[in-house]
Chains A and B, each alone.
Chain A
C-alpha cells in the first residue's frame, strides 16, 4: 500500500543542513497497524506529515497504491489525501466554533457528500462511539478523551484507506488513553490500515509492527508476534 524509497528531509539552519529524515525505506501493507517510536526530534512527525501528504520529501520516492506521490503537485496531493487519509492529532485540533456534529461532518462537506448521506453517516458514527448525547456540544464542553473520540470520528467518517494518528494519547490520562487505543485496535480489526506515533511503550504494543527512529534513521523495524495489549 505504501512504498517509501530512500526518503530524505532536511532543514536549513544557517549555512548548515540539519537532516531530519535519512534514507527511510520501508513498505506498509494493507491492514497493518504500524507504530512509529523514537525520542523527540527523531523525525517521527516529519515522517507522518510526508506519509500524510502534507509535506514533501527532499529526496526519495513515495508510492501510495502505486501512485508516485512524490511527483504530484499540491493540488493532486490534496485531492489524494482528501479521499484516502484520515488524521488524528495529539491536540485533537477540533474547530472551536463548530459543534461535535459539525466537526465530524466537515470532511464530508469537502468531499461533496449529499445531505441525507451526511446525516446517516454522522448518526452512525455518533452511535458507534456512544456520543449521540454530545452531538450539539462544543469542543470546549468535552473532556480530552471525548474530544479525541470526536477527532477519530472525524478522521474515519470519510472511510479513508489509511489512518494517521500522531500521538493520539499524548494529551490524555492513562484510562482515557486506553479507551482511545482500544478503539484504534477495533478499527484495525475491521481492516483499517493505521500508522501511529507514540512515546508510550505499552500503547505501542497495540500495533502489529514497530519502527524505531533515531536521528532520522530507521534503527529497528520489527513485526509483533504477540497480540498483546488487549488485556
Chain B
C-alpha cells in the first residue's frame, strides 16, 4: 500500500483507535489496582515535588525582575578600597543621588532611598507603636519600582515635606476602615506627617517590601544623617535607570569622578584608601550576599541552595520515571499475550507503541492532575515552612500552565518510551505460547541499572541529609564562648547617648534604669553595652600597632563598648590578665587630650594573633591604635575566641572596652525557670517609667542567635521532606520490582520448596539480588556525596568533620529499608503453598 494511502487510513482511524485504546487503558488501570496505584502514586509524588520546588524557584528567581524597567535598573554600590582590600557595600552617601542627577543627565531615573533605624508611629496618644519597613524616598522611586497608586497624587506627595504614602495594609492598620487620605499621625515623637496617598501593597518578591514611603527632602529634620556629607553611608541606597542600549561599563570613569572630587582627595587619608561606585544590576541583588547582606530587609538567598533544590526536583521526577520504566518493563510479561493477539489480528509495531505510550501519557496526565491538586493543598504549608507568599495561580499564568503540560508530556514520554518499545517488540509466536517466559535480558539489565541509579540518588540524598543535620545540630549547640541563655536584650532610646558623648537624657537615665532593674528580684545581673557578644550591630574600625592611617597592614577590628559588668555576665573565658573594673573608665574619657587616651581593653585571641603578639601573656600591657577618636587601647586581659557572628564566619579580631555613653542596649540576665512573663512585665514597666517617650522592645539573645540559621533551618526542613520523598519513591519502585520478581519466580520457588528449601533460604534467594544492587549504589553514591557535602560545608567557617560513620549509617539504613521493602514480597512468596504455585502451570 502506498505510504500516503496508509497515512490517510491511519488518520481516518485515529479516533476510533484512540477511543479503543483509551477504553482498554482505563479498564486495565482500573483492574490492576496495585500497579496503577504504584504508577500514579510515584508519578504524583514526583510531579508534586517538582511542582513545589518549581514554584519555590520561580518565586525566588522572580525577585525584582518584574518591573517594566528592571533590566535597565541598577543599584549604585560603594566599594571601599583599603590598602588593596576591597569591601563592597550596598549603601551610598546621602547626596549621591543628586550628584548622579547632575553628572548623568541621560539617566532616566535616579532615586534615593533611606531606611530609618527606628520608626515610632503615634496615631493618638493611646496608640503608639513601632513600625517596620518604613522607607524614605523621592518620586522617582514610584517610576522605577512600578508602584501602583490607589489614592492621592503620589508624585506630589513625595515632593511635599512630611508626607507619607501608605500601603493598603498599613492604611488599614493605622486607620481601620476610615479613609486614610489626608489623615495625620506623629512620627518619631516630633514630626506631624500627612497621608498623601495610598498605594498597593508590595508583592512578596521584592527586596524592598516597604510598609510606607515617607517623603525625603533636605528640609526634613527626621533624617538623622548629614544630608550633604559624602563621607559616610547610613544604609541608604541609590538606584538609577539607564537609557535603553547604554552599556554600564562605558560609565566607569565618570562614576569614578564623583568620589574622586568629594572624598578621595581628602589629605588626611592615605591614597591607598578610597571609595568607588559600582553599578549592580537590580536582578542580581537578591542572589548576591556580598554586599553586606544585600539590603536591609530581605536576606539575599544562597544560590547553592537553589541549585540544590532544582537538582533534587529533577532527581525526584527522574526517580518516579525510573519506577515507571522498571515496573512497566517488569510487568511487560502480563501484556505479552495482548501484544501477541493484537499482532495476529494485524496491529503494526507503530500502532502498539502508540498504544502503550498513550497509556503512559494517560497515567502522566492523571498524575499531573493529582499533582496539581496536591500542590494546591500543600502550598500553604510550604509557604509557612519557607516563610514566603508563593502563589500557584495556574490558570492566571499561561507560562506555568504550558510548562506543566510540557512537563506532563515529557514525563509520559520519558516514562513510557522504553516500555512501549520493549513491549511492542515481542514476538507473537513466543508471547502466545502458553507458559512462556519472555524474559528479556536487555530489559533486565536496564532495570538493574535503573535501580542502581535510583538507589544511588537516594543514598546520596540520605548522606547529605545526615551531614546537613549534623552541621545544623552543631550550629545550634556549639559553645559560642559566652553565656547566651536567659539574657533579655532591651534597647535604650535614641538620644540617651550620642556620638559626641553628650547625653540628652544623661548618664542619669541609665543609672536610674539600672537602679530600678536591681530592684526586680528575678533580675540576677545586667550589663550595658553597644551590643551583646553575639553581634546585633557591633562597631567596626581599623587597627594597627603604629599610625593606622599610613599602615598598609592595618586590619579590621570589631569593637564592643560596655560597662564593667559585661565580662562577668557573659562568662568570657579569661586566658591572661584581668577584666577591667569601673575605675578603668577614666582612661577613655574624651576630655583627655588625643594621644593620651589609653582605654583599658580586653581583646580576643584572634586580635592577639592579628597584631602578632607571641602569646596572650605577651599581649598584656601592649598598646595599639584604632581608627576612632585617637584611642590607643591598652590590653589588660585576653579572652578565648567567641563567635560574635554566625558560624559561617571566622572569628574576627575583637576588642571590648568600657564606654558607657555608647551603650545603647542592656542585657538583663533573669532567673532561669522563674516566672518569665512576670519578670518581663516588671522590666517593661520599669523601662516605660524611665523612658516614657520610647517604644519598649525586647528579645532573648539566644533566639536572635538562632535566627542566623533560620533561613538555613527552613531550607533544611524542606530538603528533609524532599529527600524523604525521594527515598519513598525509590522504595515504591523496589517494592514493585520485588513483587514482580517474586511472581515471575513462583514456579521456581514451588519447585525449590518441594525439593526441601526452607523459607529463610528462599527469602535470602529473592532478597540477595536486590541487596547486591543496593550495595553497588552505595559504592557509587558515597564518593559523590562526600565531595558534594565537602563543598557545601566550606560555606561554614565552623563545621563538622565528615566522619565515615555517616556513610556506614546511610548504607545501613539504605540496606535495611531495601531489605524490608523486598523481604515483604519474598516472605510472601516463600510462604506460599507450592501445590498452588505449581498447579497454575
Residue of B nearest to A113 (CB): B13
Q: A49-B429, A109-B16 are in contact. Are A97 and B27 (CB under 8 A)?
A: yes
B1, B24, B434: the one contacting A98 at CB < 8 Å is B24
Contacts of A44-91 to chain B: CB distance below 8 A:
49, 52, 54-55, 75, 78-79, 81-83, 87, 89, 91
Report A-chain residues with C-beta under 8 Å of the C-beta of B23: 97-98, 102
Tell me if B338 is interfacial: C-beta within 8 Å of chain A.
yes
Tell me if B261 is interfacial: C-beta within 8 Å of chain A.
no
**B836: shortest Cβ distance to chain A, in Å?**
20
Beta-carbon contact of B20 and A109 below 8 Å:
yes
Beta-carbon contact of B28 and A97 below 8 Å:
yes
Residue of A nearest to B25 (CB): A97
Beta-carbon contact of A109 and B348 below 8 Å:
no
Beta-carbon contact of A107 and B31 below 8 Å:
no
Beta-carbon contact of A93 and B432 below 8 Å:
yes
Tell me if A154 is interfacial: C-beta within 8 Å of chain B.
yes
Tell me if B765 is interfacial: C-beta within 8 Å of chain A.
no
Q: How many Å lie between the Cα of A55 and that of B427 in the bound state?
A: 9
From A55, A78, A106, A109, residue with most partner B Cβ within 10 Å: A109
Residue of B nearest to A138 (CB): B27
Beta-carbon contact of B343 and A106 below 8 Å:
no
Q: A49-B429, A112-B12 are in contact. Are A82 and B346 (CB under 8 A)?
A: yes
Report B-chain residues with C-beta under 8 Å of the C-beta of A102: 20, 23-24
Report A-chain residues with C-beta under 8 Å of the C-beta of B343: 54, 78
Report A-chain residues with C-beta under 8 Å of the C-beta of B344: 52, 54, 81, 87
Tell me if B9 is interfacial: C-beta within 8 Å of chain A.
yes
Contact with A along B426-450 (1 / 0, CB 8 A): 0011001010000000000000000
Tell me if A115 is interfacial: C-beta within 8 Å of chain B.
yes
Tell me if A95 is interfacial: C-beta within 8 Å of chain B.
yes
Beta-carbon contact of B345 and A106 below 8 Å:
yes
Report B-chain residues with C-beta under 8 Å of the C-beta of A30: none
Q: How many Å lie between the Cα of A74 and that of B343 in the bound state?
A: 11
Q: A79-B1, A97-B31, A102-B20 are in contact. Are A112 and B9 (CB under 8 A)?
A: yes
Beta-carbon contact of A115 and B24 below 8 Å:
no
Tell me if A111 is interfacial: C-beta within 8 Å of chain B.
yes
Report A-chain residues with C-beta under 8 Å of the C-beta of B429: 49, 54-55
From B12, B24, B31, B344, residue with most partner A Cβ within 10 Å: B344
Tell me if B337 is interfacial: C-beta within 8 Å of chain A.
yes
Beta-carbon contact of B346 and A81 below 8 Å:
yes
Beta-carbon contact of A78 and B348 below 8 Å:
yes
Q: A55-B429, A91-B434, A95-B24 are in contact. Are A115 and B16 (CB under 8 A)?
A: yes
Beta-carbon contact of B20 and A106 below 8 Å:
yes
Beta-carbon contact of A154 and B434 below 8 Å:
no
Residue of A nearest to B16 (CB): A109
**B352: shortest Cβ distance to chain A, in Å?**
10
**B12: shortest Cβ distance to chain A, in Å?**
6
* B residues apposed to A, CB below 8 Å: 1, 9-10, 12-13, 16-17, 20, 23-24, 27-28, 31, 337-338, 340-348, 351, 428-429, 432, 434
Instruction: Rank and list the top 9 A-B pairs by shortest CB-CB distance, nearest first.
Output: A82-B346, A112-B9, A110-B346, A97-B27, A107-B345, A97-B24, A87-B344, A93-B341, A112-B13
* A residues apposed to B, CB below 8 Å: 49, 52, 54-55, 75, 78-79, 81-83, 87, 89, 91, 93-98, 102, 105-107, 109-112, 114-115, 118, 154, 158
